[in-house]
Amino acid sequence: MDFTEAYSDRCSAVGLAAREGNAKVLQKLIGRGYSLDVLDNRGWMPIHEAAAHNSSKCLRLLINAAPSDNYIHSKTFEGMSALHLSARCGSLECVGVLLEAGVDPDQLTTESNTALFLGDAFLKPQSDCYVGEAVLYSRVNSQFLKARWRIRSLLLLGSAELFFLSGADMNCQAKDRATPLLIAAQEGHAECVELLLSEGADPNLYCNEDNWQLPIHAAAEMGHKNILKLLIPITNRICDKEKSKVSPVYSALYGGNKECLEMLLKEGYSPDAQECLLWKTNGTSSSLCAADRFFNLIDILLNYGVTLLGINLGYCLYHEKFTLFRRFLKMGCPLPSHQELPEFLSYAVKALAEYKEWLPYLLLAGFEPVNLLYRFWKTNHLGFQNSPVPAAWALQSQLCKGSGLLWKASSPKQRENW
């Protein structure tokens, strides 16, 4: 039996009237003694139908005629109460009716979600929809969708106020430990964030099992600078450099958000942050390496004194950013360390066709040519013949050409250092 689809032949007359919002018919049925607690195939009673379909008049009739005190707390087979359903569907009037009737605002679903969390969650698109459907959905009738999002935002804000008046826990956490504040920050609802904070929501409550994600990370990644501005002064700076934590600088980089990144750095967050294994990039975990997806953010990090690493030169070669490669060397970027060398050489091999753009500058900076020659020979020996890069002797020839150019361009003093 499908517990998500409503079967028409399993719905009672009372349930159908509540679903349709027909208060007159419902009142007649109640007067004739029809049962109010008949379940359908989903475990829904008429009170669930009224709550889910914003039938506040029907909901009041059902509550007043409730067969037991526990009726308003009844749950479906999926563990949803009338309050959960009304919050999830954005039925503001029904939320108010239920809270006035004394429903516990902190009651949990089987997924450990509260109604306040569901009230936040209904603002975001369904995460399990197919990408194609999501794209189509975003393009069809966009003006209607924008209007609906504005209405939903107002509904959420109104629902939040109702929950506050009923003494709901502002720091309730879902099964994955997400809080209403995290969801509001993630979805960009600044008014909700302000309201939650004013009612005691904790911005330093970790919202994942690894104990690093905070609302500030969500705001930074999603580019909500107005919310980020609210959270920066009240968020504990332990996340800035502390081991096992993650700086929101990484979040801003991961989301590609220039303004959020600059705001964090201006407020004193370190451009180096800490080693971040969660966003490890090809074996390296610095903030500059994390920015290789968004090269337009690198200037910001450089302006705030980020530490250059030798492997950054390799990423420049990998992405064919030769101007940036030369700039890094000019700024005193260290050469690849022994640990970084294998990865760097793999990028150098791929960029050999453009050796004039980078090789002379690398050798002038003191890089040992033997490392490259050995790598080229080994690559060919292991079967690299099918690569677009020439075979071993041709590779060596190109390297020697590059070295010859370097020798001609270098000064006698530089030649002595070789």
* Average pLDDT of the segment spanning 209-219: 89
Mean per-residue pLDDT, 142-162: 43
Query: For residue 382, what pLDDT is reported?
Result: 42
Q: Is the pLDDT of residue 315 over 70?
A: yes
pLDDT in tens, 237-255: 988 888 888 899 989 988 8
Q: Where in the chain is the domain with CATH 1.25.40.20?
A: 1-164, 170-307
- pLDDT at residue 411, rounded to an integer: 55
3-state secondary structure the chain: CCCCCCCHHHCCHHHHHHHHCCHHHHHHHHHCCCCCCCCCCCCCCHHHHHHHCCCHHHHHHHHHCCCCCCHHHCECCCCCEHHHHHHHCCCHHHHHHHHHCCCCCCCCCCCCCCHHHHHHHCCCCCCCCCHHHHHHHHHCCHHHHHHHHHHHHHHHHHHHHHHHHCCCCCCCCCCCCCCHHHHHHHHCCHHHHHHHHHCCCCCCCCCCCCCCCCHHHHHHHHCCHHHHHHHHHHCCCHHHHCCCCCCHHHHHHHHCCHHHHHHHHHCCCCCCCCCCHHHCECCECCHHHHHHHCHHHHHHHHHCCCCCCHHHHHHHHHCCCHHHHHHHHHCCCCCCCCCCHHHHHHHHHHCHHHHHHCHHHHHHCCCCHHHHHHHHHHHHHCCCCCCCCCCHHHHHHHHHHHHHHHHHHCCHHHHHHC
pLDDT at 132 over 80: no
For the whole prediction, is pTM greater than 0.75?
no
Per-residue pLDDT reduced to its tens digit, 345-372: 989 888 888 888 998 899 889 888 777 7
- Residue 414 predicted with pLDDT over 70: no
Give pLDDT tens digits for 255-308: 899 999 999 999 999 998 777 544 444 444 556 655 556 778 889 999 998 888
- The answer, yes or no, to whether residue 415 has pLDDT greater than 70, is no
Q: Is the pLDDT of residue 124 over 70?
A: no
CATH number of 170-307: 1.25.40.20
- Position 227 pLDDT exceeds 90: yes
CATH superfamily of 1-164: Ankyrin repeat-containing domain (1.25.40.20)
| Average pLDDT value over all residues in the chain | 76
Higher-confidence residue: 141 or 101?
101
